[in-house]
Structure 1
Amino acid sequence: MPHPIEITSVAQWNSTLRGATAAGQTVVVDCYAVWCAIAPVFDRLAAQLEHVLFVRVDVDKMAAIAQKYKVSAMPTFFAIKAGQVVDTLKGADPAGLTRLARAHAGPNPPVPPLSAEAEQLKDEGNTLFKAGEYVQAREAFGKAIELAPTSFILLGNRALSSLKLSPPDFSSALSDAEAAVALAPAWAKGHVRRGEALEGLERTGEAVKAFEEAVRTGSGTVQSEAKAKLEKAKAKLT
């Protein structure tokens, strides 16, 4: 379970921000003094939003950082994207902190970059999938996964290819979908694929929970798709 990172030097702060920017991660910062921290709320959010980087800065020890960001009240929280502060909250406001973190977390975790070869195989798989060549598409995605085993997008693509086979390969789809959501717990599409596979395996109760998680983590068309599938799955249980 992720825990907030305690910043102990300016060099660590700078490298943390650079790493988050490169990975496309939102950073949520708690500038605190020991006597005014609301650590339990911050810890809980860090555990729930695993694709967000949560860091703590003790202003008494890291005065240079506090001065740079003009921290004048404790605690002060702010969200950073691409190295820039996009939102700030002053004061021990648990509800406000929750809103700030969730508003800037984004619905999906950052997508890890692929090598040129893996990207080429992904494009090949997408082309084959669009042409209805699901067996070949699954093979192409599989080769890409061998090069990028932590890519939840590729795992999701292969899961969908397995679901499109005739007959569908629900077991393989479930295996890939579960691997994808293990890597990216907030990826709504992964939960949708997992739900579809579970439903195909007649594990409808588990499918309902997967679709519920997709609704919770998703937005836009993905969330709408998840809601529709959730209602259909629930109807099977009645």
Structure 2
Amino acid sequence: MNKWVLVAAPALSLLSGCSTETTDSKNVATEAIWGEFKVTSDGNRARLVAELNVDGSNGNNLKLTDGDKLYATASGVTKELVEDIDFFDVDYQAYFDETKSNASYSIVFERQKSAQKLISTVQLPESFTIFAPQKSQSFNLKDSLFISWQGLSSGKSIDFSYSASCSAKDGGSYSTSASVSAIVDNGNYQFSFDQFEGLKDEQINRGKPCEVTLSLRRRNEGIIDSKYKSGSRVSAEQVRTVENIKVYF
């Protein structure tokens, strides 16, 4: 049986559990570096995000210094990853046009001082297209409907999720989301919006519709270089969304 994971909260900033401190890579031995690499394709382009931390996922963010660099190759195109800093985190990113099924990505962490190259690889899952429902459709909370997609992946599963933004009774806003993993990848998944407990919350102003985004996600795990700290990982996803769906009460 599939189990829903629900998150519901008034719209406010949530603090991350990750460290906001940074450490220069020149001061950290390779075996102490934890890495997470994720390629996400929306069918139009792919975004590669690399996160390097000291000793684990909650350790200090690693800032590349002294010639250390990250670069990746897909279908013969090589790009160096560029540092991206926000309030909570430091990561490295690059964008690629390669989104087709089974496209291979090679991600290299090159260490200047120790002359090391850590090479990790991953393949994108099979591509797919959502054809129902359509963007900007409207539904009632109790409607039963299918999310349907083309481009099946034989013998595998797919993850389904939704997120909603609603008006709150107090004049503010309310958001909720939920996900269910490993549904059968057969092209159809039936659901109704009233099975989502977050959309039945008393905080919601039922005189106004909620705006909902539906998502399907396929995921592949890749091969991480063994020189990274234990627990490091590399993955690739094909993600498709249907936005601006209105749900009335």
TM-score, normalised relative to structure 2: 0.26
Higher helix share: 1
Higher strand share: 2
TM-score, normalised relative to structure 1: 0.27
Greater relative contact order (CA < 8 Å, ≥ 6 in sequence): 2
